[in-house]
Amino acid sequence: MDTEAISSIAALGALAVMVVIGLPIYLGVRHAGRVREFEHAERMKALEMGQLLPGDQSWWTPMRLCALIGAGVPIGVFSLAMIATNLDSFSHDDTIWTAAGMLGMTSVICGTILATRLLRQGSRTNESVGSNMKTVEDADSYDSVSRRGA
């Protein structure tokens, strides 16, 4: 084979590699850019309307934290008290259960207080937010009514 045939085969091979590898990479980057543009447009529209996107909220909402304080702490405390009383080295079983009961009751009361304050605060902010929201009405309806008398 002469050098022209080898160079043309190498050029065709390089072109094939560019098409097989380069084209999907280019199309993938282009698609990712369009997806980002659509997500940005969706986020801006949601902000304009005063709403949150589903992915924006954290799992650790204040209401879930209140529930964890009110229910999770007593479960943990009583589990630890049960483990401690099953150990042979402790002879103060009633003291452990008294402390666990007091701590559990305190956490239930504190979780309830936090939840009621949160609900009261949420109802006040929803009322104030609702009064500042734009009404959905046709803008031309006011113009046509005001021009009838003129």
Query: What is the full DSSP assignment across 85-130?
Result: HHSTT---HHHHHHHHHHHHHHHHHHHHHHHHHHHHHHHHHHHHHH
- Determine the residue type at 79: S
CB atoms within 10 A of CB 107: 20
User: Would you list the domain boundaries of the chain?
Assistant: 1-52, 59-131
DSSP string, 21-72: IIHHHHHHHHHHHHHHHHHHHHHHHHHHHT---GGGS-S--HHHHHHIIIII
The pLDDT value given to residue 146: 53
Report the phi/psi class of residue 63: left, alpha or beta, with left for phi > 0 and alpha for psi in -120 to 50.
Answer: alpha
Q: Supply the mean pLDDT for the chain.
A: 81
DSSP 138: -
pTM over 0.85: no
Give me the mean pLDDT over the 25-30 stretch.
94
Lowest mean pLDDT among 22-31, 37-46, 57-66, 88-97: 88-97
Residue 52 predicted with pLDDT over 80: no
The pLDDT value given to residue 87: 79
The pLDDT value given to residue 88: 63
